[in-house]
Chain A
Amino acid sequence: MADIAVEAHNLTVSYHHKPVLWDVDFQLPQGSLIGIVGPNGSGKTTLLKSIMGLVQPDSGYVEIFGKPLEQVRARVSYVPQRESVDWDFPISVREVVEMGRYRPGRLLRRLDSTDKAIVRQSIARVGLEAFADQQIAQLSGGQQQRVFIARALAQQADLYLMDEPFAGVDATSERAILQLLAEMKVAGKTVVMVHHDLQTVQEYFDWVLLLNTRLVACGPVSSAFTEDNLRQAYGGQLTILSKVAHLVEEHDFPVRDRSKKQRT
């Protein structure tokens, strides 16, 4: 396996005495697009937050690039769920993206011309130049999502943790985000993304982590995204399952062919 971006050991997290993640162990390779997939309430967001140090685990630990988070925080950037802010906040697109240049020790300092240039580039990369001075409430859902991604880009990190960036996003924004992900992969960045749409997993990701409080599977999409594993992760949720089974049989994805070959 390539160098490791994120590694978790015996990670257990609970909210108010109810376990949300139970004894989760995994390693995620650098330079990949990694999807975290699982049913609602399976701990996907919590897993992302544990990696980002936003929730304290009951036991276990996470290492990023082989080090504790505090030593590599500058190399990690976080794209929270779109619902996590009040979009009526009186702030412009540019001002939100500028937050990507804030650092704990330098909050009193003004942003310099390098910072400003990085902010401009980041806004351009998500295609929002025309909206830079608009208030964030005036944007569509997809554009709002792209603001968060631009802010993460402005951090110039190596590892990106994104919480459902495709949720409620229009087709234009989806294309823009996919294009960006492709660019980031070429640049050797690692993207770990919570994703809820099973239909697009094989198309978007190299690597998948299936979660249902416990870790169900973690590996290349070709070997981990199987019907067996999905049944384990989604349990009795038949509608989703039959949809996926249908999908897998109907199109007989090349991914699946590869996994068959590997077995023989």
Chain B
Amino acid sequence: MNAFWIILTGTLVATSSGLLGAFLLLRKMSMLGDAISHAVLPGIVIAYLVAGSREPLPMLLGAAGFGVLATVLIEMLYRKARLQSDAAIGVTFTGLFALGIILISAFAGQVDLDLDCVLFGEIAYVPIDVWITPSGLNLGPRAVWILGGLLVLLLLLLGLGYKGLVITTFQAEYAAALGVSVSFWHYLLMSAVSVTTVVSFEVVGAMLVVAFMVVPPATAFLLTNKLQHMLALTVLLGLGTALGGYCLAAWLDASIAGAMSVVAGAFFLLALLLAPRTGYRHQLWQR
């Protein structure tokens, strides 16, 4: 049963992160998830200092707030200071992460609030933290419910906002000419990325979130030239990655998050070699 919960959790994270990651990839902002997972640290510390405890809700709010703030700063550096987008991402997240470290060492050093327990969840512990109703009914791991709820919200957002997201991603200038608010859709997507990153890394750790946000969409991008297919493939690859990663970890008795990331990378390599249009095999054949 533990295996089932872990694979389900992995798949839920892979689906949420992957679907958003596909849009980030097309906007050439794939590393935004990584940036956000670091930039939220001051938000977590401030929430801790204000609330005076390690309750999850204030920390989540603080983190999500700083995630959005990071995307606003990145956008400002990119637009107003004319910095390249990757440089803007780098400047922003190192700055905010450093601010978080200073806050911890100056104000929260004497208590147990270090990176290991705040930033990095561990997917192997998911089945332990179960949700039991007052009447004693065991509903399964809490994380699965939270991630499942998040995924439903995201599917709603992507379903309803598909046209808006696609047109502003494909050609922001044309969208603006039609009168579509480019910044509304930008910040809607960025808020979704912030919340998803924060909720997910609390459960599975930052590395796995970033891996799921970048690698399956990049793999799917190589395999198809239709956006709907790319999104569907991303989800399938996420499922395959969670399943394969768990098996690999069980076989090697190694880190589950590490194994899942490796499997995601293996799928990517395979696509790189075999992709119908861009694959190495195809290029050899054309020669």
Binding site for B on A (CB under 8 A): 16, 52-54, 70, 73, 76-78, 80, 84-86, 89-92, 95-96, 99, 102-104, 107-108, 135, 137, 151, 155
Instruction: Please report the C-alpha to C-alpha distance between residue A155 and residue B175 in the assembled complex, in whole angstroms.
Output: 12
Instruction: Please report the C-alpha to C-alpha distance between residue A137 and residue B164 in the assembled complex, in whole angstroms.
Output: 22
Which of the four size classes fits the interface of chain B?
20 to 34
Q: How far is the CB of B282 from chain A (nearest CB, A)?
A: 14
Interface residue? B73 (CB, 8 A): no
Q: A89-B170, A90-B224, A92-B226 are in contact. List 10 more A-B contacts (CB 8 A).
A: A54-B176, A78-B174, A80-B174, A89-B169, A90-B26, A90-B229, A91-B170, A96-B170, A107-B161, A107-B164
| Residue pair A78, B177 in contact (C-beta under 8 Å) | yes
Instruction: Please report the C-alpha to C-alpha distance between residue A95 and residue B173 in the assembled complex, in whole angstroms.
Output: 17
| Residue pair B170, A103 in contact (C-beta under 8 Å) | no
| Residue pair B180, A104 in contact (C-beta under 8 Å) | yes
Given contacts A104-B181, A107-B164, contact A99 B174 (CB under 8 A): yes
| Residue pair A90, B225 in contact (C-beta under 8 Å) | yes
Among A77, A90, A108, point to the contact of B227 (Cβ < 8 A).
A90
For A53, what are the chain B residues with a Cβ–Cβ distance below 8 Å? 176-177
| Residue pair B226, A135 in contact (C-beta under 8 Å) | yes
| Residue pair A103, B173 in contact (C-beta under 8 Å) | no
Interface residue? B163 (CB, 8 A): yes
Q: Which residue of B lies closest to A106 (CB)?
A: B163
Instruction: Please report the C-alpha to C-alpha distance between residue A117 and residue B82 in the assembled complex, in whole angstroms.
Output: 42
Given contacts A90-B225, A107-B164, contact A85 B177 (CB under 8 A): no
| Residue pair A107, B180 in contact (C-beta under 8 Å) | yes
| Residue pair A137, B167 in contact (C-beta under 8 Å) | no
Instruction: Please report the C-alpha to C-alpha distance between residue A103 and residue B178 in the assembled complex, in whole angstroms.
Output: 7
Given contacts A92-B226, A135-B225, contact A104 B179 (CB under 8 A): yes
| Residue pair B180, A108 in contact (C-beta under 8 Å) | no
Interface residue? B283 (CB, 8 A): no
| Residue pair A85, B171 in contact (C-beta under 8 Å) | yes
Please name 12 pairs of A and B residues whose Cβ atoms are closer than 8 Å in the assembled complex, sorted by A.
Answer: A53-B176, A78-B174, A84-B171, A85-B171, A90-B227, A90-B230, A92-B226, A99-B170, A102-B163, A102-B167, A107-B167, A151-B174
Q: Which residue of A lies closest to B176 (CB)?
A: A54
| Residue pair A54, B170 in contact (C-beta under 8 Å) | no
Instruction: Please report the C-alpha to C-alpha distance between residue A59 and residue B205 in the assembled complex, in whole angstroms.
Output: 52
Instruction: Please report the C-alpha to C-alpha distance between residue A76 and residue B178 in the assembled complex, in whole angstroms.
Output: 9
| Residue pair B179, A73 in contact (C-beta under 8 Å) | yes
| Residue pair A102, B225 in contact (C-beta under 8 Å) | no
Q: How far is the CB of B254 from chain A (nearest CB, A)?
A: 35
Instruction: Please report the C-alpha to C-alpha distance between residue A61 and residue B224 in the assembled complex, in whole angstroms.
Output: 45
Instruction: Please report the C-alpha to C-alpha distance between residue A204 and residue B171 in the assembled complex, in whole angstroms.
Output: 28
| Residue pair A89, B26 in contact (C-beta under 8 Å) | yes
| Residue pair B230, A54 in contact (C-beta under 8 Å) | no
Instruction: Please report the C-alpha to C-alpha distance between residue A54 and residue B208 in the assembled complex, in whole angstroms.
Output: 40
For A103, what are the chain B residues with a Cβ–Cβ distance below 8 Å? 178-179
For A84, what are the chain B residues with a Cβ–Cβ distance below 8 Å? 171, 173
| Residue pair B177, A52 in contact (C-beta under 8 Å) | yes
Contact residues, B177-191 vs A (CB, 8 A) = 177-181
For A77, what are the chain B residues with a Cβ–Cβ distance below 8 Å? 177
For B226, what are the chain A residues with a Cβ–Cβ distance below 8 Å? 90-92, 135
| Residue pair B166, A91 in contact (C-beta under 8 Å) | yes
Instruction: Please report the C-alpha to C-alpha distance between residue A151 and residue B167 in the assembled complex, in whole angstroms.
Output: 12
For B229, what are the chain A residues with a Cβ–Cβ distance below 8 Å? 90
Q: How far is the CB of B23 from chain A (nearest CB, A)?
A: 11
Q: How far is the CB of B86 from chain A (nearest CB, A)?
A: 16
Interface residue? B66 (CB, 8 A): no
Interface residue? B160 (CB, 8 A): yes
Q: How far is the CB of A253 from chain B (nearest CB, A)?
A: 35
For A85, what are the chain B residues with a Cβ–Cβ distance below 8 Å? 170-171
Contact residues, B111-128 vs A (CB, 8 A) = none
